[in-house]
Amino acid sequence: MPVIVVPGFMIHDVFSLRLRRTLGLLGYDARESGIGLNRGLRPDTLASLATLVETTHAATGRRVVLVGWSLGGIFVREVAKMRPDLVERVISMATPFSGNPRSNNLWRAYERIAGHPVDRPPVQVSISEKPPVPTYAIWTRKDGVILPSCTSGLDGERDVAIEVDCRHVDMVASPASVSALIDVLEIPARP
């Protein structure tokens, strides 16, 4: 099963290498996002990721699983809305898709670096709207960066919320969160 992993804000694709290698050892075709350093939502970010989904689907003949850490989870949720026919499921990890977009410790830095207000990105998005594919939110009460209720979401904003015991910065490396991710990947694909 192809899996694309998208990094969080100010995180580079290289930081998901360990996770992608672990998934590869388990038989998953784990790929980087190709966005490099995530400097926030840019006008071409979603289109670039949608193209990656299309080429991955064309190369494998299978629907793609999208995994997004923190801000990367916002990106994968939006891409799944653009191409639900090519996406098997969406897994967000410590992603602030619910509630106030300023309910985190990074919104000021985000606005400086991304160059736009956190609640007015340069492309049309509906962050709390659930994609039309199975959607899993892996979250933690010990986040430390984002208000936990913003990452667990409300009914109707995601299908399943899975609580793990780790911090925001450990989400793609903690045994608890990686185990939860693998459990979600093991759910049989939709017909």
- The pLDDT tens digits for 105-132 are 999 999 999 999 999 988 889 999 999 9
Please enumerate in sequence order all residues whose Cβ is within 8 A of that of 59, keeping only pairs 6 or more positions apart, or say none.
none
What is the sign, positive or negative, of the torsion defined by CA atoms of 58, 160, 166, 49? positive
Q: Assess contact for 61 and 109: CB atoms under 8 A.
A: no
The pLDDT of residue 68 is 98
- Indicate the pLDDT class of residue 191, thresholds 50, 70 and 90: confident
Is the pLDDT assigned to residue 180 strictly greater than 90?
yes
Q: Assess contact for 85 and 59: CB atoms under 8 A.
A: no
Cα–Cα distances in Å, from 160 out to 17, 107, 109, 129, 155? Answer: 26, 26, 30, 14, 8
The pLDDT of residue 36 is 93
Reported residue count of the chain is 191
Percent of the chain predicted with pLDDT > 90: 94
Structural domains of the chain in order of their starting residue, each with its CATH number? 2-185 (3.40.50.1820)
The pLDDT of residue 43 is 87
Q: How far apart are CA 24 and CA 191, in angstroms?
A: 23
The pLDDT of residue 21 is 96
pTM over 0.85: yes
Is the pLDDT assigned to residue 138 strictly greater than 90?
yes
- The pLDDT tens digits for 59-91 are 999 999 999 999 999 999 999 999 999 999 999
Q: How far apart are CA 155 and CA 181, in angstroms?
A: 20
Q: How far apart are CA 10 and CA 110, in angstroms?
A: 9
